[in-house]
Chain A
Amino acid sequence: MYIYIQGTGCVSPQETAAGNTFPAAVLPWEGPRLKAWEPDYKQWIDVKLIRRMSRVIKMGVAAAKLSLQEAGVEVPDAIITGTAYGCLDDTGVFLSKMINQQEEMLTPTAFIQSTHNTVAGQIALMLGCHAYNNTFVHKAFSFESALLDSIMILREGRSSSILAGAMDELTNHSFNILSRFDLYKKEPVTYEQLLKSSTHGTVAGEGAACFALGTEKGPNTKAKLTGLTTLYKPVGKAEISPDITSFLAAHNCSQEEVSLVITGRNGDASGDEWYEYVENTLFAGKPVAGFKHLCGEYPTAASFGMWLGNRILAEQQVPADVLLKGKVPEQIKKVLIYNHHKQTHHSLILLTAC
């Protein structure tokens, strides 16, 4: 059974939500915090609802709607989301008021919207979708678990289209606190320089990317989701190579057949060594693309990478702004996305043109 990407939707620090094509130009950013470029949500969401929704809900709903529109699916057979941090803004609001007001005179809205399944629940509510609904919240495996759950359910053969996606927002509190963990660049850096950096740290990002996945091709299907796997805390770089090789073999794909490798390079010198190692040992001479200079680093950023991989297969070209090295072949058939988050959560996604 093949699993096809029937539609995609992406809200990110780039103008990806303006239409399902590569934005004409990169939106430059400054400082270590990238903010999502937000579309006019009125096209999908009632104005009264928009006012009450936090950004992560709006971004998630927009990405979901975009992907279903492209797939030509009105109500999917399942809604499965992944979010590492959940609804941070509403969590922060309720927590702050609870502390500042000594647990008195609190109102329910922020609490109600703070639960991690809010986005999936809102999408179900808006679509009137009574089907399977699940939310994975496992750090940088949140998106991958949502994809795996979707794949397993599609394989059971009773669902034709599943909405799978991931969303995470940055808030002032979360950015302040994450910064105190020394995750981000101290020196000024531009999008052109970030992935060539040799210093410590990266830049913070956010966004939502959704995919309508199905067992049949949709009117706009350009790629198949061929494989997915995760690797938790590999002992060292040497462990990742055999894992990648056996992952490819399990999906009948040789290293030669990979047309393009998309890596989660984020400009953090020690983290990027993993990508460097894999590029040099397994994929020497292969073209390599990156994406975190466009969306920043966050635990579900691999979803942006998958959106990009699908676009590249759809348009059969790699935008100059994402190509990091090598020459892209005439025909782009298979794209491997290798991402890791803080060297702990590693994932591999294989897409095939169709």
Chain B
Amino acid sequence: MHSDVWIAGGGVICGIGNNLSECLTAFERMEPGMAHMEHLHSVHRHTFPVVEVKASNATLASWTGMPEKISRTALLSRVAAQEAWNSTGLGDIHQYRVGFVSANTVGGMDKTEDFFADYLQDPSKGHLSQVVHHECGAITELVADAMGIRHHISTISTACSSSANALMYGSRLIKNNLVDVVIAGGTDALTRFTLNGFNTLMILDPAACRPFDDTRAGLNLGEGAGYVVLISEALAAELPASKQPWCRLSGYANANDAYHQTASSPDGTGNFLAMRAALEMSGIKPEDVDYINLHGTGTQNNDSAEGAAIARLFAPHYPPVSSTKSFTGHTLGASGGIEAVFSAWAVKEGVIYPNANFSKQMKDLPFSPVTKFSAGLQLQHVMSNSFGFGGNCSSLVFSKNAQS
């Protein structure tokens, strides 16, 4: 059970880039992706900025060879999962026992919304093709089938922490020798359902979001998908020198805040427990962490709870921290996967991402986020946080070296 699980590669599509390289350029150039809605049709289009993937369903379909009419959630998933696979040196996918563990929060809701408009008029109306992929698992299967994966497929939905949990489950599948490789992460397309849901909670910022800033007023929704490729130690040892793993998934933990269905406890109990247990699993101390990719949604509640938990765990050695959601928006079920790719790449290339729109230090916190892009650093351990509704809190640690 002490075998290592390595990250052999990763892929991302989100509102600041259609692949990892484009995302990195956006970070370097300080170009967040908030804009008016182009693809989502909502009455709120002029009220709330979103961070949409800059491609229509037709374009995504042409890139993936999948039908244009299927859920955007599946199209985004396929783009990122394929990029993740291609970034590894693993070659033909059919030669391995492969798992696909993909998280999402609302499945094919983008199509169900259209179906429901007709169905509510007349229950015999509405195209069934629009609801056939409503279930979260259906999205995963569309992509698994397209990629020829059938050894193990699963879908996780724990709101905004969903895809961090996909990495944990995937890692366990490898440690239990059920598969050799797992493509793990998540996907979510923007939907009116989630936009309106977050609007009822009054946590959408009508301006660009400002995570970990004293003036923060809410989050911006984004969309996208992000996956890492997890591999066993045995498989990592066989990789060619030119395709060495990015880093190791050295620690992970999931805890529940058990405070409120949607709000975090003021002291971030769940966040604290998740981070502490992840460090414990990695066998490192708080001062060993070189960078934290924050959950950092930009809501009053999240950032003060997450900040309090970090202060409690890390004081007085605060590592550099930033929320990449200040660029990508909050991509919900995809965020843990997207940020896992950013974090794993951070370890590989020594990158620290900037926190955009930061101007005023939070009064109740002794630290503030980094605001500049830097590369070529020596980062040994990077932490990625994902917290969600239902009190679900997850924390991941990526490390450069094998366990000592």
A145 contacts chain B at the CB level, 8 A cutoff:
yes
Q: Of A118, A135, A152, which contacts B261 at CB under 8 A?
A: A118
Identify the interface centre among B138, B172, B199, B256: most chain A CB within 10 Å of its CB: B256
Nearest 8 CB-CB pairs, A to B?
Answer: A121-B390, A111-B197, A139-B137, A138-B137, A116-B157, A108-B200, A138-B155, A137-B136
- B153–A141 touching, CB < 8 Å: yes
Q: How many A-B residue pairs have CB under 8 A?
A: 178
Q: A134-B158, A137-B136 are in contact. Are A149 and B131 (CB under 8 A)?
A: no
Q: How far is the CA of A233 from the CA of B270 in the complex (A)?
A: 38
> B196 → chain A, closest Cβ, in Å?
5
Q: Of B117, B193, B261, which contacts A113 at CB under 8 A?
A: B261
Q: How far is the CA of A137 from the CA of B389 in the complex (A)?
A: 16
Q: 19 pairs across A/B with beta carbons < 8 Å?
A: A86-B157, A95-B113, A96-B116, A98-B193, A108-B201, A112-B389, A115-B389, A117-B157, A124-B256, A129-B258, A131-B256, A132-B254, A133-B391, A133-B392, A134-B156, A136-B156, A139-B138, A139-B141, A152-B172
- A130–B255 touching, CB < 8 Å: yes
- A111–B201 touching, CB < 8 Å: yes
Residues from chain B with a CB closer than 8 A to the CB of A84 are 135, 137
Chain B minimum-CB-distance residue to A124: B256
B373 contacts chain A at the CB level, 8 A cutoff:
no
Q: How far is the CA of A116 from the CA of B105 in the complex (A)?
A: 7
Q: How far is the CA of A151 from the CA of B34 in the complex (A)?
A: 43
B43 contacts chain A at the CB level, 8 A cutoff:
yes
Q: How far is the CA of A122 from the CA of B388 in the complex (A)?
A: 13
Identify the interface centre among B116, B131, B140, B173: most chain A CB within 10 Å of its CB: B116
Chain A minimum-CB-distance residue to B332: A115
A217 contacts chain B at the CB level, 8 A cutoff:
no
A275 contacts chain B at the CB level, 8 A cutoff:
no
- A125–B391 touching, CB < 8 Å: yes
Stretch at the interface among B81-89, B119-127, B240-248, B342-350: B119-127
- A129–B256 touching, CB < 8 Å: yes
Q: A130-B255, A133-B390 are in contact. Are A142 and B137 (CB under 8 A)?
A: yes
Residues from chain A with a CB closer than 8 A to the CB of B128 are 177, 180-181
- A117–B192 touching, CB < 8 Å: no
- Categorize the interface residue count of chain A: 35 or more
Q: How far is the CA of A95 from the CA of B257 in the complex (A)?
A: 28
Q: How far is the CA of A176 from the CA of B169 in the complex (A)?
A: 35
B363 contacts chain A at the CB level, 8 A cutoff:
no
- B124–A103 touching, CB < 8 Å: no
Residues from chain B with a CB closer than 8 A to the CB of A139 are 135, 137-138, 141, 155
- A103–B192 touching, CB < 8 Å: yes
Residues from chain A with a CB closer than 8 A to the CB of B141 are 139
Q: Which residues of A contact B (CB under 8 A)?
A: 79, 84-86, 91, 94-96, 98-100, 102-104, 106-108, 111-118, 120-122, 124-125, 127-139, 141-142, 145, 149, 152-153, 155-156, 173, 176-177, 180-181, 230, 232-233
Q: How far is the CA of A156 from the CA of B171 in the complex (A)?
A: 13
- B389–A103 touching, CB < 8 Å: no
Known: A122-B261, A125-B391, A230-B152. 13 other contacts (CB 8 A): A84-B137, A94-B193, A98-B193, A99-B120, A112-B201, A115-B157, A117-B158, A117-B390, A125-B258, A132-B256, A134-B156, A135-B390, A155-B1
Identify the interface centre among B120, B140, B200: most chain A CB within 10 Å of its CB: B200
Among residues 149 to 194 in chain B, which have CB atoms less than 8 Å away from a CB atom of chain A? 150, 152-159, 165, 169, 172-173, 175-176, 192-193
- A117–B1 touching, CB < 8 Å: no
> B354 → chain A, closest Cβ, in Å?
31
Q: A121-B391, A136-B155 are in contact. Are A155 and B257 (CB under 8 A)?
A: no
Q: How far is the CA of A112 from the CA of B253 in the complex (A)?
A: 24
> A161 → chain B, closest Cβ, in Å?
15
Chain B minimum-CB-distance residue to A232: B150
B56 contacts chain A at the CB level, 8 A cutoff:
no
B64 contacts chain A at the CB level, 8 A cutoff:
no
- A115–B159 touching, CB < 8 Å: yes
- A117–B150 touching, CB < 8 Å: no
B46 contacts chain A at the CB level, 8 A cutoff:
no
B44 contacts chain A at the CB level, 8 A cutoff:
yes
Q: Of A86, A94, A99, A152, which contacts B136 at CB under 8 A?
A: A86
Q: How far is the CA of A125 from the CA of B176 in the complex (A)?
A: 31
Chain B minimum-CB-distance residue to A132: B254
> A314 → chain B, closest Cβ, in Å?
29
- B390–A120 touching, CB < 8 Å: yes
Residues from chain A with a CB closer than 8 A to the CB of B173 are 152
- A99–B113 touching, CB < 8 Å: yes
- A121–B261 touching, CB < 8 Å: yes
Q: A103-B44, A121-B392 are in contact. Are A85 and B135 (CB under 8 A)?
A: yes
- B390–A115 touching, CB < 8 Å: yes
- B124–A128 touching, CB < 8 Å: no
- A95–B112 touching, CB < 8 Å: yes
Q: Of A120, A177, A181, which contacts B119 at CB under 8 A?
A: A177
Residues from chain A with a CB closer than 8 A to the CB of B132 are 181
- B200–A106 touching, CB < 8 Å: yes
- A108–B197 touching, CB < 8 Å: yes
Among residues 71 to 122 in chain B, which have CB atoms less than 8 Å away from a CB atom of chain A? 105, 107, 112-113, 116-117, 119-120
Chain A minimum-CB-distance residue to B121: A99
Q: How far is the CA of A117 from the CA of B160 in the complex (A)?
A: 10
Residues from chain B with a CB closer than 8 A to the CB of A95 are 112-113, 116, 193
Chain B minimum-CB-distance residue to A98: B196
Residues from chain A with a CB closer than 8 A to the CB of B112 are 95
Residues from chain B with a CB closer than 8 A to the CB of A102 are 43
> A27 → chain B, closest Cβ, in Å?
28
Q: How far is the CA of A251 from the CA of B391 in the complex (A)?
A: 37
Residues from chain B with a CB closer than 8 A to the CB of A96 are 116, 120
- B140–A138 touching, CB < 8 Å: yes
- B156–A103 touching, CB < 8 Å: no
Q: A121-B392, A137-B156 are in contact. Are A130 and B269 (CB under 8 A)?
A: yes
Q: How far is the CA of A44 from the CA of B392 in the complex (A)?
A: 23
B259 contacts chain A at the CB level, 8 A cutoff:
yes
B378 contacts chain A at the CB level, 8 A cutoff:
no
Residues from chain A with a CB closer than 8 A to the CB of B391 are 121, 124-125, 133
- A130–B137 touching, CB < 8 Å: no
Residues from chain A with a CB closer than 8 A to the CB of B157 are 86, 115-117, 135-137
Q: How far is the CA of A149 from the CA of B105 in the complex (A)?
A: 19
- A156–B1 touching, CB < 8 Å: yes
- A125–B261 touching, CB < 8 Å: yes
Identify the interface centre among A84, A111, A131: most chain B CB within 10 Å of its CB: A111
